[in-house]
Structure 1
Amino acid sequence: MNYAASGPVHTDVGNTAVVAGYIQDLVDCDVYEIEAAEPYPYEYEAATDQAQCEKNANARPAIAGELPDLSGYDTLLVGSGVWWGDPPMIMRTFFEAVDAAGKTIVPFTTHAGSGLGSAVQTYRELCPEAAVEPNGLAVRGEDVQSARAEVEAWVSELGLA
Structure 2
Amino acid sequence: MAFKKKYAAALMTAALAVSLSACGAEGSADSGSADSSPAAEEEASQSAEAGTQTGGDLFSIQTEEVYPADGGDLIDYAADEQDEDARPELTTQIENLDDYDTIFVGFPNWWGDMPMPLYTFFDEYDFSGKTIIPFNSHNGSRFSGTIDTIAELEPDAEVIEDGFTINERDVPDAAGDIASWLDELGF
Pair in the same fold by TM > 0.5: yes
C-alpha deviation, 1:45, in angstroms = 2.5
Instruction: Provide closer, same or farther for how the CA distance between residues 12 and 44 of structure 1 changes in structure 2, counting only shifts above 3 A.
Output: closer
- Inter-partner Cα distance in structure 2 for 1:10 and 1:57: 23
Is 1:131 paired with 2:158? yes
Counterparts in 2 of 1:52 and 1:100: CA distance versus 1, 3 Å: same
Aligned counterpart, 2:32: none
Mean Cα displacement is larger for which, 28-37 or 147-156? 28-37
The answer on 1:81 being equivalent to 2:116 is: no
- Which one of the candidate residues 35, 43, 52 is aligned to 2:79? 52
Equivalent residue number for residue 22 of structure 2: none
Residues 105, 135 of structure 2: 8 Å contact kept: yes
Please, what is the CA RMSD of the aligned residues? 1.9
Residues of 2 paired with 1:14 and 1:28: CA distance?
Answer: 20
Q: Which of residues 48, 53, 56 is equivalent to 1:29?
A: 56
Shift of residue 99 of structure 1?
1.6
Segment of structure 1 superposing worse, 151-160 or 9-18: 9-18
CA deviation vs aligned residue, 1:23-42 (integer Å, no higher than 9, x gap): 12211111111122112111
Work out which of the residue numbers 40, 44, 54 in structure 2 matches 1:17.
44
Residue of structure 2 equivalent to 1:103: 130
Unaligned regions of 5+ residues in structure 1, if any? 3-8
The answer to whether 1:63 aligns with 2:90 is yes
Cα displacement (A) at 1:13: 5.3
Gaps of 5+ in 2: 1-15, 18-35
1:102 & 1:66 partners in 2: Cα distance? 19
Same amino acid, percent of matched pairs = 33
1:153 correspondence with 2:177 = no
Q: Indicate conservation of the 8 Å contact 2:37/2:71, yes or no.
A: no
Distance 1:56 1:140 in 2: 24
Q: Which runs of structure 1 show a deviation greater than 6 angstroms over 4 or more consecutive aligned residues?
A: none
Q: Cα–Cα, structure 1 residues 126 and 25, in superposed 2: closer, same or farther, change >3 Å?
A: same
Query: What CA distance in whole angstroms lies between the structure 1 residues aligned with 2:67 and 2:165?
Result: 22
The answer (yes or no) to whether the contact 1:70–1:99 under 8 Å persists in 2 is no
Alignment TM-score, normalising by the size of structure 1: 0.89
The DSSP-based 3-state class of the residue aligned with 2:142 is: coil
Contact 1:87 1:118 in 2 (8 A): no
- TM-score, with normalisation over the residues of structure 2? 0.77
Question: Which digits, 9 at most, give the CA deviation of each residue in 1:39-71, with x for residues without a partner?
Answer: 211122321121001101111111123344311
Call closer, same or farther: CA 1:146–1:54 in 2, change over 3 Å. same
